[in-house]
Structure formats: C-alpha cells, structure tokens
Structure 1
Amino acid sequence: MKIAYFINQYPKVSHSFIRREILALERQGVEVTRVALRGWADQLVDPDDLEERNKTQYLLRGGLAALLPVTLRQFLSRPGAFLRAVGMALRLSRMSDRAAPYHLVYLAEACELVRLCQVHQVTHLHVHFGTNPTEVALLARMIGGPAFSFTVHGPDEFDRPLGLHLREKMEAAAHVVAISSYGRSQLYRWVGHGHWPKVQVVHCGLEAAYFDTPAEPVPAAPRLVCVGRLCEQKGQLLLLDAVRQLRDRGEDLHLVLAGDGEMRDELEQFISRHGLQSQVSITGWISSERVKQELQAARVMVLPSFAEGLPVVIMEAMALGRPVLTTSIAGIPELVRHGTDGWLVPAGDVGALVDMLSRALATDAATLQEMGTAARARVRERHLIDTEAAKLRHIFSSSP
C-alpha cells in the first residue's frame, strides 16, 4: 500500500505523534510519502525530526512562482475539473479568516500535491488537522488526486467549524479520524448523520519502547512539571497564580515550565513581579529526550489547559509512571481517571487548582508510585502506537 501523509508543517517539535504514526505504519508494510507545506528551514533539536526532514517533500520550498507551471498544466489537462475546483476554493473562502486569493493559492498547492501523488503512485492521502491542508487535499481530489482522509485533533477545528468548512471537508473525505470519542461527538455536530459512519476514533499513540524499562521511582523533591507550548489555551498563567498562592501559604514546591511560545514574556513578567524565581523555571524548547528527563524528575505532571484535544504529553507522563493533574475537558477524562492515575479539576478554576496541587504535593511517594503504575497500564492499554496504526491501515485500505 502506498499512501502520502500531508501536513501543514513537518517535522515540528509538537508533532512527534505524527512521526510515531508514520513510522508505525511503515513497520506494518505501508509505504509512506511525507509531504508538507513548510518546515524545511525550522530549527530542530531532535535527531529523529532531522531525519524526518530529509524524507519530506515541501510544496512551497520553491515559492509560489514554482507552482505556476504545474497549475497551468493541470488546467490544460482537465479544464472542467479545474474550474469546478476554482468554484469550490471561492466557496470555501466565505466565512474564512483568509481572503479568496489564499484559497486560490491552496488550489495551486493542490496541483503540485496531485503531481507528487502521481509520481509516487500514491493510492490514498491522509492529512493531519482539519485546517488548510485538508482544504488542499479536497481540491486535489477534485482535480484528479487520490481519495483522502483527515485526522481532527481540536480544539482549533471546533473553535471555528464554519470558517474552516468542516462539513464540506467531511462530506468530501473518504474517512475522518477523531482522536477521542469527545472529538467524534463534536464532528457529528457539523455533518449529516448519513456521514457519521465515516468518522472513526483512532488514538494518538506511544511506541512500545516507552514501556520497555521500569518506571523511575517518584522523587522526594516537591517538583512539578508542565510540558507544552507557552500559550493562552494551556493555562500556564493560571498555574503561576496557583503557585504564587501556594508559596504565600508557605508550601514548598518548584514548577518547571518545559516549552516555549508566544506567552513566554508575559509569564516571565509574572514570575518577576511576584518574586517566583525560586519556585518557577522555564526551559525553552527542549528535545523529546529532555522532556522525558523532566517528567521523570517530577512527582506530578501538571497541565491546566482551557482547551485541548487529547494531549500526547499526558500519555507520555503516564507511560513514564507519573500521575497527571489536569483539567476535565475534551478527551482528557477518557484517559485520566480522577483519583486512580491522576487528578481532574474544572478548567479555569484557580481555587480548585490550588487545592489539588496542595493535595498532590502532600501525597506520599508510595501512593504516587501506585498511581503511576495504574497510569502506565492505562495508557499502554489505550494508546500503543502499533495498535492504533493498525486501525489506520485498515481505514486506508478500505478507501474507494
């Protein structure tokens, strides 16, 4: 089976789950062509990402001018289909946050995508995220490209389903993948029930190597870690307020914010303004190996997100035998069981977050170890990448 994976930006620090999925499919005999719009010049720290970049073909590497010849050839070879695709691109520009010319550029990208699929004899195209790459795949299908499917992660797609034209994309797709039952339910809201059978749940997964060695003992130090992009939706500012309140109550703790992002300056200002330099440190972007080390060095992984799909870092922490303290939103409660392998709090409730952080810090090492063991078994049962990749392989093989 020859398929292509199409992503807006690849490889990317926060897209290690896509790399795992591709490699698992290849282990099962699927030939995967990697295609992305951009990502050829990004700064990368992970050796696996560097290797993936060498395998990836980029539609925009030659600039927009390089797309003109292939677009003209596509028009001349199938003018009727091309003009229908122009009409669809203009239709999809309505209510979009991008003007019509951007959507015509997507059509030019679709022409190059069709060419690459033909060169590599691709029989099915799979896209991650229901944003502009899925529109490119839809337009590619209209002008002669292969059948396509796409994985919806959320929350971005659920925040603006009309502007992203989720309904049109789901209707045109052969299959739609949700990463949780919650995600599937949100997709059901935006397409007729006749299309519901094409929406299937396939979890993001972890390699078996995560479970090959025993979990490290829970450290004695009151150290917490929050892993993720520093941005509004991850809730780090609320977490810093909770740390401030715990410090003012005399509780001993240290929080590591592992990641970087657009809110770093604001977070650093909060730390400085409230004198939290002894309680909080920020690492910046780190490799996947360093993320693993930070998780192992912490008693608990904290993620107080306001909006999510189902964060892979929660799976990684649980696989390493660490309980997680996170919010009861989206697909998270499908994995994390409150009081068994972690704790769940209402999103945006700083008081509840303070109380639960205090409870987690006061929990003895033996109990944390038991919770970590339960977490490890839970994530292995539900999120082993080879199991999830087999589901995808079946989906791809059943495409028309």
Structure 2
Amino acid sequence: MHIAYFINQYPKVSHSFIRREILALEARGVSVSRFAVRGWADDLVDSADERERGLTHYLLQRGLAALFWAGVCVVARRPRAFFKAAVLALTLSNRADRPWPLHLVYLLEACQLLRWLNKAPVQHIHAHFGTNSAEVVMLTHALGGPAYSFTVHGPEEFDKPEALHLREKMTSARFVVAISSYGRSQLYRWLPHAHWHKVEVVHCGLDKAFHEVPAVHVPAAPRLVCVGRLCEQKGQLLLVRAAALVKARGIPFEVILAGDGEMRPQIQQEVTRLGLGGQVHITGWVSSARVRDELLAARALVLPSFAEGLPVVIMEAMALRRPVLSTYVAGIPELVLNGETGWLFPAGDVEALASAMAACLAAPTGELDAMGEAGRERVLARHDVDTEAAKLAALFAKQSQAGAPG
C-alpha cells in the first residue's frame, strides 16, 4: 500500500508525533511519501527531523512561478476538473479568515501536488490538521487526485469551524481522525449525522525513547517543568503569575519553561516584573532528548493550557512516570486523572494553579512516584504508537479499496 502524507510545515519541533506516526506506518509495510508546503530551511534540533526533511517534497521551495506552471499544465490536461476545483476554492474562501487570493494559491499548490502524485501509484492521501493542509488535499481530489482523509487536532479547528469550512472538508473526505473522544464530539457538532461513521479516534503515539527509559525516581528538588510553544493558548503567562503566589507563600521552587514562541518577550518581561529571575527560566527550543531529560529532572510537568487538543508532552511526561498538573480542557481529563496521575484545575484560575503547584511541591516523593507509575500504566495502554498506527493502516487499506466517498 502506498499513501501520501501532506502537512503544512514538516518537519517541525512541535510535530514530532507526525514523524512517529509515519515511521510506525512504514514499520508495518506501508509506503509513505511526504509532502509539505514549507519547512525545508527551518532550524531543527533533532537528527531524525533532519532525515525526514531529506525525504519530503516541498510545494513552495521553487517559488510561485513553479506553482503557476503546474496550474497551466493541469488546465491544459484537465480543464473541466480545474474549473470545478477553482469554483470550490472560491467557495471555501467565502466567510474564511484568509482572503480569496490565498485560496487560489492553495489551488495551485493542489495542482503541483497532483502532478507529483501522478508520478507514483499513491492510493490515498492523508493530511494533518483541518486548516489549509486539508483544503489542499480536498482540492487535489477535486482535480482528479486520490481520495483523502485528515486528522483534526484542535484547538484551531474547534475555534473557527465555519471559517475553515470544516463541514465541507469532512463531508467529502473518506474518513476523519480525531485524537480524543472530546475531539470526536466537536467534529460531530459540525458533521451531518449521516456522515458520523466517518469519524475515527486514533490517539497520537508515544516515542519509544520515552516509554523505554528505565524508572527514575521523582527528585526531591522542588523543580517543575513546562514544555511547549510560548503562546497564549498554553497559558505560560498565567504560570508565571502563579509562581509569584507560590514564592509569596515562602515555598522554594524552580520552574523551567522549555520552549520558545511569539510570547517569549512578554513572558520574560513578566518574570522580571515579578522578581522571579531566580526561579523561572526559559530554555528556548530543545530536542526530544533534552525534553526527556528536563522531565526526568522535575517533580512534575505543569501545563496550564487554555485551549488544546491533547498535548503530546503530557503523554511523554506520564510515560516517564511524572505526574501532570494541567487543566480541565479538551482531551486532557481523558488521560490525566485528578488525584491519581496528577492534579487538574480550572483553566484561567491562577489561585487554583498556584495551589496545585504548592501541593505537588509539598508532596512526598513516594506519593509522586506512585502517581507516576499510575500515569505510565494509563498512557501506555492508550497511546502505544504501534497500536495506533495499526488502526490507521487498517483505515487506509479499507479506504484505498473502497469506491467513491459516501
């Protein structure tokens, strides 16, 4: 079986779960061709991502002129299909959050993708995220390309489903993947009941580098780590304010913010304003190996997210036997059990976050070890990469043999 994967940006530090999924499929004998819009010149910290970059074809690498030529070639060979796809692209631009010329660029990207796909016997194409990547594969199908599916992660798709025309993308897809039961429920909201059967839950899989690590006891050091892009939805600014409350209670602690992003200047400014330079430290982007080391050196992972799908770093922390402090948001409570594998608190509540941090810092290490063991058992049962890849492989095999979408 030969399928194609299409991602807006690949490889990417925060998209390592896609790499794991592809490699697990290939280990099952599925041939996977990688395609992406961009990512050929990004800074990478993982050697595995460097390898993936060498295997990926990039639509924008040769500029817009190459896309325009691809469009000319498709018009010459498939004028009716091109006209149909152009109408679809303009329809998808209606009420969208991006102007109509960009949707015509997506059409040209689809033309280039179609030309590349025609050079190999690809039976199906799968996209990650229900944003422009899903639109490009939808347009590729309208041009006469293979049937498609896509994985919805959230929270962007859940925040603006109408602007993204999520209903239309799902209706014409062979199937749609949600990464949690919560995600599936959000897709049901926008999908006609007759198409509910298309929605499948396939969890993100764990990297074996995390769950094959020998047990390391929770350290006595009062250290917490937050891993993720520094942005509004992850809530790190709230974490800094909660840290100030913990400091005011006279509790010794250290918080490591492992990651980078658009809100780093504001977060650093807040650290300085609150006099937390000795307690809160930002590392910038780090490799998967460094993430693993940071989690093992901490008493727990803290992630005060406002909006999520289901963060992969929570799975990684639990696999490493570390408790998790996070919010009652999206798919998080499906994995983190309050009082059993960590602490859950209401999103946006700085007092509740500070109390959870204080409780974790005060807990005996033996209690934290027990939480970590319970978390490991839970995450390995739900997020084994080979088990989840087997689900996807079965879906691809079924749909590649099927007729037109239902």
Deviations 1:217-250 (A, max 9, x none): 1111000000000011100011111100110111
Deviations 1:10-63 (A, max 9, x none): 000000000000000000000000000000000111111111100100011000
Q: Residue 225 of structure 1 aligns to a residue in which SS?
A: strand
Query: In 2, distance between residues paired with 1:252 and 1:207?
Result: 33
> Residues 62-101 of structure 1 correspond to what in structure 2 (within 5 A)?
62-101=62-101
Q: Residue 214 of structure 1 aligns to a residue in which SS?
A: coil
**Which residue identity is paired with 2:146?**
P
Aligned-pair CA distance for 1:209: 4.1
Aligned-pair CA distance for 1:116: 1.4
| Alignment correspondent of 1:303 | 303
| Alignment correspondent of 1:44 | 44
| Alignment correspondent of 1:382 | 382
Contact 2:345 2:356 in 1 (8 A): yes
**Which residue identity is paired with 2:155?**
P
| Alignment correspondent of 2:26 | 26
Aligned-pair CA distance for 1:131: 0.2
Deviations 1:305-353 (A, max 9, x none): 0000000000000000100000011001111111111111010011111
Asked if 1:270 is matched to 2:270, the reply is: yes
Query: In 2, distance between residues paired with 1:21 and 1:201?
Result: 14
Contact 1:34 1:56 in 2 (8 A): yes
Asked if 1:211 is matched to 2:227, the reply is: no
> Residues 327-342 of structure 1 correspond to what in structure 2 (within 5 A)?
327-342=327-342
Asked if 1:397 is matched to 2:372, the reply is: no
Asked if 1:202 is matched to 2:202, the reply is: yes
Aligned-pair CA distance for 1:215: 1.9
> Residues 306-385 of structure 1 correspond to what in structure 2 (within 5 A)?
306-385=306-385
**Which residue identity is paired with 2:139?**
L
Query: In 2, distance between residues paired with 1:300 and 1:19?
Result: 26
| Alignment correspondent of 1:292 | 292
Query: In 2, distance between residues paired with 1:213 and 1:299?
Result: 16
Q: Residue 308 of structure 1 aligns to a residue in which SS?
A: coil
Query: In 1, distance between residues paired with 2:207 and 2:27?
Result: 12
| Alignment correspondent of 1:163 | 163
Q: Residue 283 of structure 1 aligns to a residue in which SS?
A: strand
Q: Residue 109 of structure 2 aligns to a residue in which SS?
A: helix
Q: Residue 375 of structure 1 aligns to a residue in which SS?
A: helix
TM-score (norm 1): 0.99
Give the unaligned 5+ runs of structure 2. none
Contact 1:227 1:259 in 2 (8 A): yes
Computed over aligned residues only, the root mean square deviation of the Cα atoms, in angstroms, reads: 0.8
Aligned-pair CA distance for 1:208: 3.6
Contact 2:127 2:133 in 1 (8 A): yes
Query: In 1, distance between residues paired with 2:13 and 2:72?
Result: 36
**Which residue identity is paired with 2:226?**
C
Q: Residue 370 of structure 2 aligns to a residue in which SS?
A: helix
Query: In 1, distance between residues paired with 2:24 and 2:49?
Result: 15
Asked if 1:242 is matched to 2:252, the reply is: no
Q: How many residues align?
A: 400
Asked if 1:251 is matched to 2:245, the reply is: no
Identity %: 62
Query: In 1, distance between residues paired with 2:120 and 2:49?
Result: 22
| Alignment correspondent of 1:281 | 281
Aligned-pair CA distance for 1:210: 2.6
| Alignment correspondent of 2:179 | 179
Q: Which moved more, 1:206-215 or 1:355-364?
A: 206-215
| Alignment correspondent of 1:139 | 139
Query: In 2, distance between residues paired with 1:220 and 1:78?
Result: 67
Aligned-pair CA distance for 1:354: 1.1
TM-score (norm 2): 0.97
| Alignment correspondent of 2:228 | 228
